[in-house]
Amino acid sequence: MEQFIVSARKYRPQTFKDVVGQQTITNTLVNAIDNNHLAQALLFTGPRGVGKTTCARILARKINQEGYDDPNEDFAFNVFELDAASNNSVDDIRNLIDQVRIPPQTGKYKVYIIDEVHMLSSAAFNAFLKTLEEPPKHAIFILATTEKHKIIPTILSRCQIFDFKRITIADAKDHLAEVARSQNISYEEDALQIIAQKADGAMRDALSIFDRVVSYCGNNLTRQAVAENLNVLDFDYYLRITDMIIVNDIPNLLLAYNDILAKGFDGQHFVAGLASHFRNLMVCKNPETLNLLEVSDENKQLFLVQAQKLPISLLIAGINLANDCDLKFKTSQNQRLMVELCLMQLASLTQMDEKKNLIGS
């Protein structure tokens, strides 16, 4: 049987061009290499799973390949990766410093990638300072961390700092689409949208969630199956609930919420989603903000139609009510009642508006 390699490993970018969503950083690094301006101590910081280690490895390979004809020579033996989470003592750093002194046998640089560098003990940091300030010519240090604030200022000031960004939903979605195509997996746009949203800015997470839903859904990712597998309240729910709010259908609203709870969804998650849904309807009110709507093009129409039924004043009041309920949820003695009350208030808002003849304005 062929061995399964997780997508996050299988699709690790091999060149800067393949790295998604970090163009400012990759351009700066490429320019620095081309102009011989690369600092010897670099700090890659940013959320997890956004390409820090990946870029460090690409950089390490690229600077050693400069001037060599064979593009397949990867100089992996000149690249040393140290996980500071498990090698955080002064002795670990002293061993490293001893190694650093010896120049590489082939290639120009020895590159030291120190992951999770914030985990080094303060004694280890201090032992490292001098080497970081005056490294031998052949040594480049790339320190990576998700927690820049835990790095002492004396280290920070010796490094050129690169702040990696969260991956946008659109970028994550495009990348997933490429991965899906290369595996002959068919997908609905919204299925990938849900995965990208759930990944919350981390590409590694997007790829692992993708693997998980593929093993559940098979080679056809539909929005419904993905939402079910990830236990995400699909926008369909919110469209339906809002339709009930518009016609002040309180009995069905209470039944729908009961159904949501029975399916195992969390009440607070639901009201937060409802506030986001009203926000989505709000951005439909103006063509200039329409591109802030985070749904696929094929479903935009559903939102536009619903938005037409609700005046802006009501949407603002709706966002406020749902948001307020979200904020107070944790401290409430009767969370279920609180959400039900919120739904009833939302429904009566539309009634009040009707009386004022505002609907459709």
The CA-CA-CA angle for residues 332, 322, 274, to 5°, reads 120
Q: Phi then psi for 241, rounded to 5 degrees? A: -60, -40
DSSP states of 229-266: HTT---HHHHHHHHHHHHTT-HHHHHHHHHHHHHTT--
| Measured distance CA(337)–CA(341) in Å, rounded | 6
| Cα gap 72→243, rounded to integer Å | 60
C-beta atoms surrounding 208 within 10 Å: 17
Strand, coil or helix: what is 203? helix
Question: For residue 64, with 0-12 CB atoms within 10 Å meaning exposed, 13-18 middle and 19 or more buried, which class applies?
Answer: buried
Q: How far is the CB of 206 from ligand ATP (least distance, A)?
A: 8
Residue from 20, 29, 43, 159 touching ligand ATP (CB under 6 A): that is 20
What DSSP designation does 147 have? -
Name the one range near ligand ATP by CB under 6 A: 11-19, 236-244, 290-298, 328-336. 11-19
For ligand ATP, which is the closer residue by CB, 21 or 311? 21
54 makes contact with ligand ATP (CB under 6 A): yes
- Does 26 bind ligand ATP (CB under 6 A)? Our answer is no
Complex with ligand ATP: residue 115 or 326, whichever CB lies closer: 115
From 52, 108, 118, 198, residue interacting with ligand ATP (rule: CB under 6 A): 52
19 binds ligand ATP (CB under 6 A): yes
Give the Cα separation of 256 and 335 in Å (integer).
Answer: 16
With CB under 6 A as the rule, give the number of residues binding ligand ATP: 24
* Binding flag, residue 53, ligand ATP (CB under 6 A): yes
In angstroms, give the least distance from the CB of 178 to ligand ATP.
Answer: 10
Question: Structure tokens of 49?
Answer: 């799973």
Question: Which of the residues 192 through 211 are near ligand ATP (CB under 6 A)?
Answer: 203-204, 207
22 binds ligand ATP (CB under 6 A): yes
Q: Least distance from C-beta 14 to ligand ATP, angstroms? A: 10
| Closest approach of ligand ATP to the CB of residue 302, in Å | 31
Residues that bind ligand ATP (CB under 6 A): 8-9, 11-13, 19-22, 48-54, 115, 144, 146, 167, 175, 203-204, 207
